[in-house]
Every structure is written in structure tokens, then in C-alpha cells.
Chain A
Amino acid sequence: KAGVTQTPRYLIKTRGQQVTLSCSPISGHRSVSWYQQTPGQGLQFLFEYFSETQRNKGNFPGRFSGRQFSNSRSEMNVSTLELGDSALYLCASSPGGGVSNQPQHFGDGTRLSIL
């Protein structure tokens, strides 16, 4: 069974640009969560999508947005990039739905560097 796939693996952008990251969950998983990981802050929750609906949202500015498609694939967008957005962005999937206590499984992440 294929794991969670994130693309691209590495990305370099400049301040003010925007970026879109992609995540394909494990087959059959309907919940996709996004996290930002930085050395100082650890893993910070961005948002969770289930059945194309945002089910939960962390404390990030509106520049961070996401969506989920009918095949459960998800994208995350960051607009007007700032230096502080440099981080490892992780996507995790779980079955979701009524099986709410199942663990999340992570992709390899996208390392975003802002110049």
C-alpha cells in the first residue's frame, strides 16, 4: 500500500510569492491534515480536511489556505510568502469519519525555503 505522497519535496521561493503544495493520502484515507514544523515551534497544526470540507483549523493567518478534492487529495496554498514561512510542511492522512481515533501517517514533507 502506497504511503502519503507529498510534492514537491523541496521548494525555494522569494518573499511575496505564493506557493501550492500537494498531498495524496494513503488509499482509502479520507482525512488529511497539514502541519508546519520549524526548529523553534515544533509541529504546528494548520488545518484538517475531511470529505472536501475543512473540519478543523489552527492559528495561522489567512495567507494559509487549503482544499481537498473528491479523491481525497489535498493542496495547501500560502500567499504573500514571508521569511518566517520557511519550514517543513507535513501532510498526514488517517481514515477519518467514524474511525476518529486512528493514528495519522505522515508524508515525507515539503521543505520550503524563502529567500
Chain B
Amino acid sequence: QKEVEQNSGPLSVPEGAIASLNCTYSDRVSQSFFWYRQYSGKSPELIMSIYSNGDKEDGRFTAQLNKASQYVSLLIRDSQPSDSATYLCAVKGAGTASKLTFGTGTRLQVTL
């Protein structure tokens, strides 16, 4: 079982729709959760951080965390063609020495 799992996609949504990206993780003591966006040929860029159960909103982005189900998701409202990218879920355990583990990413395509 992979430590952090994501559907590789591509996930195709029409412009203006809501894109829903999902991620599950295996380590129950994970404490910190991040979503990164990576355009083709570029490096990952941080979009959201979430640390406690519930929703966290930032503009068109909402991160949702459910530690009991070991599940984190990212919603993108009013999807734009510029949102087309690969979205990486990253999970970090407790303690200063724990490493950040990435999923393989979900490729999102926003169509006109």
C-alpha cells in the first residue's frame, strides 16, 4: 500500500465547474497536509496547508481534511483553463524529523 494515494487522472472538468481532487494516506499519526500545483516543466507550488479536521477556504480553493477516514481533498470552484496542472497531495507526520511524503499527483484538465 502506498503511503499517499491519488488517482492519476486525467480529471477533466468544463470551465466554470467544480473540480474535486482526492487523496488518502496510510499513516494515522500524520499531522500536516499540503496541496501543491505543478505545471508541466515547472516545480511544485504550494496552494493550501491544512492541519485540523474540517474545511479551509482560500479564494476558489477549499481543502477538506478527515483524519478519521485518513482522507484529504481539494475543491477548486469556478475552474479555469489556467488551473490545468498536476495537483500533488503531501503528508507529514508528527515531529521535526518526519519527512514529507508526496502522492504521485492528479492531472487536472479544464476544458473550454
Q: Which residues of A contact B (CB under 8 A)?
A: 33, 35, 42-43, 45, 48, 50, 55-56, 58, 88, 90, 92, 96-98, 100-101, 103-109
Cβ contacts under 8 Å, B105 to chain A: 42
Interchain CB contact under 8 A, B34 and A107: no
State whether B99 touches A101 (Cβ < 8 A): no
From A55, A88, A103, A109, name the one whose CB has the most chain B CB atoms within 10 angstroms. Answer: A103
Q: Are A56 and B99 in contact (CB-based, < 8 A)?
A: yes
Binds A, one of B15-23, B43-51, B60-68: B43-51
Tell me whether A45 and B34 are in contact (CB under 8 A). no
Q: How far is the CB of A57 from chain B (nearest CB, A)?
A: 9
Q: Which 9 A-B pairs have the closest CB atoms?
A: A42-B104, A101-B32, A100-B96, A43-B102, A106-B43, A56-B99, A109-B43, A106-B44, A103-B46
Q: Which residues of B does A touch, CB under 8 Å?
A: 31-32, 34, 36, 42-46, 49, 51, 88, 92, 94-105
A107: B residues at CB distance < 8 A: 43
Q: Which residues of B contact A50 (CB under 8 A)?
A: 96
| B99–A42 touching, CB < 8 Å | no
User: Contact at A33–B100, with CB atoms within 8 Å?
Assistant: yes
In whole angstroms, how far apart are the Cα atoms of A41 and B110 in the complex?
25
Complex Cα gap A55–B99 (Å): 9
Residues of A within 8 A of B94 (CB): 100
Cβ–Cβ < 8 Å partners of A108 in chain B:
42-43
What is the distance, in angstroms, from B64's C-beta to the closest C-beta of chain A? 17
The docked-state distance in angstroms from the alpha carbon of A106 to that of B100 is 13
**Bound Cα distance A82, B96 (Å):** 33
A100 to chain B: which residues have CB within 8 Å?
Answer: 32, 92, 94-96, 98
CB-defined contacts of A109 to chain B, threshold 8 Å: 43
Q: Chain B contacts of A92 at CB under 8 A?
A: 100
Q: In the complex, what's the smallest C-beta–C-beta distance from A53 to chain B, in angstroms?
A: 10
